[in-house]
Amino acid sequence: MTGHNVYEKDAVEVWHTSHRETPGKGWIGVFNRNRKQPVSVTLSQKDLGLRQLVHSRKEKSPFKVKDIWEDAEAVIDDHGYSVDIPVDGVKFLQYQIAEERIDEGGK
């Protein structure tokens, strides 16, 4: 999986990769590069690399995300996504446009 850096501020980096064959689906990694303290951050759709995916859709299209390791789902709307990341940790998210169900296994 190849991604690109879409956000970097202080110790937080966001890496995004789209599904090759399915528009509106993909994966996001939110990294805490701080080796001394955890971080709490709220990221917008733009910060997560999702805003460009909705340019042809309704302006405030929500996305579903699934935390790969914690098996928890959330919706990212115009209020953004809040996440706590441990020291030198990462959150891996699978996303897709909210009108669709998140498939098991990322297919």
**Positions of the chain with pLDDT under 70:** 1, 52-60, 100-107
| Whole-structure pTM value | 0.82
What is the pLDDT, as a whole number, of residue 55? Answer: 55
Judge whether 28 and 95 are in contact, CB under 8 Å.
yes
What is the pLDDT, as a whole number, of residue 106? Answer: 47
Where do we find the tokens 């959150």?
91
DSSP 3-state of 91: strand
Q: How far is CA 74 from CA 45, 62, 89, in A?
A: 13, 10, 20
Question: What is the token pair recorded at 64?
Answer: 């579903």
